[in-house]
A and B are shown apart, each in its own frame.
Chain A
Amino acid sequence: MSAMRIFDPHIHMTSRTTDDYEAMYAAGVRALVEPAFWLGQPRTSVGSFVDYFDGLIGWERFRAAQFGIRHHCTIALNPKEANDPRCADVLDVLPRYLAKDGVVAVGEVGYDSMTAAEEKAFQRQLAMAVEHELPVLVHTPHRDKRSGTQRTLDVVRESGIAPELVVVDHLNELTVGLVAESGCWMGFSIYPDTKMDEHRMVTILREYGTDRVLVNSAADWGRSDPLKTKYTGEAMLAAGFTEDDVDKVLWRNPVEFYGQSGKLLLDPLEQAAPTGETFEGNSVLRGARPDSGA
């Protein structure tokens, strides 16, 4: 079997270690998208978002590159924090970031608790995606998922954005059908326990096929596994899918979806192990550093 090439279309590397980067590279991950989301600890100001966004386009991209992985991100006000009036003004700053290289979508947007404030932020950010000609990554609520997904699709349709520019994420057996019919892309987060596992994913792929499907690990600061993409590929092969099917789901599909932004950076990186290179003077190395002349 030839080595898999993997593009994880949804993973929060800011919360992960360098061990993860090394294991991901070894598993075949060469590119990823890190959506802007909440950090566990709630933010209380716009400045906190801006520093986070700067990290997504700056330090984290540099860190990933040190491990041979191309890092892209999506930028948005997430649904949970859309409910905090101290954070809502970040919407005015978003256009500056949506124009930047490597920012390949608006996201994560959508509903968390189905509030009016969430809906307003969701609608406004869908309009920004239309204006900036960017795809959108839509989060679906963990509670009341089926009706939340239906409502999500209604808001997407009303926005006028083309369905092929939208991925609706965190789907399961009960919500995949709605999204399949809508023409939007179907995103699946493969977790150790909740949401979806790799074997249920294979069953869904058998029923719905491999078109418009994105499989991600959604690994973050919670219990999660950045290699779930690879395990899904292995489960697909074990279930009789071809290597080409796996390549389509784990590489070509995310490239096609996020490629619609025109801002993917996929030329191969030279090194897969950290060098003495620095980002604004900081290196990922510890201890001895190559002499920089200082």
Chain B
Amino acid sequence: MSGLRLGYGTNGFASHRLDDALDVIAGLGYDGVALTLDHAHLDPFAADLPGRTSAVAARLGRLGLGVVVETGARYLLDPWRKHQPTLLSAEPVARVDFLRRAVRVAADLGAECVSFWSGVKEPGLADETAWQRLRDGVSAVLEEATERGVRLALEPEPGHFVQHLDQALRLRHDLGSPELLGITLDVGHCVAVEPVDAAECVRRAGALLFNVQLDDMLPGVHEHLEFGAGELDLTATLAALTGIGYTGLAAVELPRHSHAAPEVARRSLAALRAAEWTGDAERRIAADPASVRTLFPAAGRKAGRAPLHPETDPQGLVHGTRDDEARGRLLAALARALPPEDLAKEVGELYRYGDGAERRGVLRNLHRLPTGDPEYSVVRDTGLRLVEDALRANDTGLVAAALGPFAAAHLDAHSWRHGVLKCLFVGVPVAAVAGLAERTDDELVRMVTDYVAERKAAGRDVPPDADAILQEAGQ
């Protein structure tokens, strides 16, 4: 395994005492925590701060947890105004003082860095003034950091003055590229606001990446989501971290999930390990294509078997399962590593020696092979052979997987129509059939019409999907 160091943010355990949160996070198997200093969690303004800091340090040591210090508490400095004051405020003293405290706490904890953001620019504040205030504030905190030997990591935050990675890098450059100043990257933010994906942001930050926050997001929406609920490519993102040799903590950032923290943290770790395994498997296949023979079967155990959209597709017949998705990535990696003849043979054997789940994994992902490329006609022919084999079976998982985008693009009309009819017979929802509307023709409509008539004549129910096909065709 590539061995990223995975952590969890204590701001996602706001309903737990800090000690309990650390116990749960360590107990689940995380390697570290992103510790947000807040009222209830190592309050930096508490009278007995040094004593409490050393107690927390001892507990982290006992539990074997690494730590980074986060400073994004909402109402720590001003009970009325969230996040105020900031480094951009006319009176930023309280913010600078707090960040300097955070640096001292980090030094006492042995933390790997202190993470901070710029703050929101008030309407009417000139960019140049904001930029100047930010430089001054960061310089002041850097003094403390230099004295204590603590690294600082500036986090681009959606909606803040510094919200893009480029801006954070520019600030660092303007300050003369101080060695102790680096970047915190929230990979969900990349989905929400960056022009390139999170993996590319990771590569752009490179050696300046001091701290990473992990969560999912949807483009344009700054809402921290659990993995899988947004559009982050977690596997590619973690692979990029491994690729740049990142050795810091990568900690889950789900500050609005405290109500179910232990379960969310458990699920998150499972998703991270699955993604890490998948990325690692892709690299191994690139280096040694034959390794796919043992990695492909292991995908269920390593990446999970649950349906991707359990609410609408409990059996995974329409959208597939986690292992289907992981196997798709392995096939794509295999396609990059092998010439056409070898690829066709290997894919055929993965199917031949596969159990039901592995066969499904091949079928559902045939479109991820370069079958449209004339040079890969041998791979397309193999794919067609496998689809025809699957359509002879009565296994609903195989039938559903066989009628994906590959069959929509390449399967002959006769076989394809019979595949659709078989779905009606064995109870596969036709939502699983890719390109149904585009490929439905008069002959399919005739076949389905006859099928419906036959059911009615026998006094049996007509599957709603049969009616749906006829309605779609205007019958």
Interface residues of A (CB under 8 A from B): 50, 54, 57-58, 93, 95-101, 132, 262-263, 278-282, 292-294
The answer to whether B463 touches A280, judged by C-beta atoms less than 8 angstroms apart, is: no
Q: Which B residues from 379 to 394 make CB contacts under 8 A with A?
A: 393-394
Q: A99-B293, A99-B295, A278-B395 are in contact. List 7 more A-B contacts (CB 8 A).
A: A50-B353, A101-B357, A132-B294, A262-B301, A280-B398, A293-B424, A293-B427
The answer to whether A96 touches B395, judged by C-beta atoms less than 8 angstroms apart, is: no
CB distance from A191 to the nearest CB of B (A): 32
Q: What 1/0 mask marks residues of chain B from 259 to 303 whose CB sits below 8 Å from any chain A CB?
A: 000000000000000000000000000000000011111101100
Least CB separation from B295: chain A residue = A99
Chain B residues with Cβ below 8 Å from A132 are 294
Among B295, B301, B393, the one with the most A-chain Cβ atoms within 10 Å of its Cβ is B301
Chain B residues with Cβ below 8 Å from A95 are 293-294
Chain A residues with Cβ below 8 Å from B296 are 99
The answer to whether A263 touches B301, judged by C-beta atoms less than 8 angstroms apart, is: yes
The binding surface of chain B is classed by DSSP as helix
Q: B175 an interface residue at 8 Å Cβ cutoff?
A: no
Q: B356 an interface residue at 8 Å Cβ cutoff?
A: yes
Bound complex: CA of A292 vs CA of B293, how far in Å? 35
Bound complex: CA of A275 vs CA of B300, how far in Å? 25
The answer to whether B426 touches A280, judged by C-beta atoms less than 8 angstroms apart, is: no
> Pick the contact of B293 from A58, A96, A280 — CB < 8 Å?
A96
Chain B residues with Cβ below 8 Å from A101 are 297, 300-301, 355, 357
CB distance from B448 to the nearest CB of A (A): 14
| A99-B297 in contact given A278-B394, A281-B393, A292-B427 (Cβ < 8 Å) | yes
The answer to whether B426 touches A294, judged by C-beta atoms less than 8 angstroms apart, is: yes
The answer to whether B294 touches A98, judged by C-beta atoms less than 8 angstroms apart, is: yes
Q: B45 an interface residue at 8 Å Cβ cutoff?
A: no
Chain A residues with Cβ below 8 Å from B398 are 280
Chain B residues with Cβ below 8 Å from A263 are 301
CB distance from B402 to the nearest CB of A (A): 13
Interchain Cβ contacts under 8 Å between A and B, 10 examples: A54-B355, A96-B293, A96-B297, A96-B353, A99-B296, A262-B301, A278-B394, A281-B395, A294-B425, A294-B426
Chain B residues with Cβ below 8 Å from A278 are 394-395
Among A54, A58, A95, A281, the one with the most B-chain Cβ atoms within 10 Å of its Cβ is A281
Least CB separation from A95: chain B residue = B294
Interface residues of B (CB under 8 A from A): 293-298, 300-301, 353, 355-357, 393-395, 398, 424-427, 463
Chain B residues with Cβ below 8 Å from A57 are 355
Bound complex: CA of A262 vs CA of B395, how far in Å? 28
The answer to whether B426 touches A292, judged by C-beta atoms less than 8 angstroms apart, is: yes
The answer to whether A293 touches B353, judged by C-beta atoms less than 8 angstroms apart, is: no
Nearest 10 interchain pairs by C-beta: A281-B394, A99-B294, A99-B297, A100-B297, A280-B395, A96-B353, A294-B425, A96-B293, A57-B355, A99-B298
Bound complex: CA of A279 vs CA of B301, how far in Å? 21
CB distance from B298 to the nearest CB of A (A): 5
> Pick the contact of A58 from B355, B425, B463 — CB < 8 Å?
B355
> Pick the contact of A293 from B295, B297, B357, B463 — CB < 8 Å?
B463
Bound complex: CA of A57 vs CA of B355, how far in Å? 7
| A100-B355 in contact given A280-B393, A281-B394, A281-B395 (Cβ < 8 Å) | yes
CB distance from B270 to the nearest CB of A (A): 15
Least CB separation from A102: chain B residue = B355
Chain A residues with Cβ below 8 Å from B394 are 278, 280-282
The answer to whether B393 touches A96, judged by C-beta atoms less than 8 angstroms apart, is: no
CB distance from A189 to the nearest CB of B (A): 28
Chain B residues with Cβ below 8 Å from A98 are 294
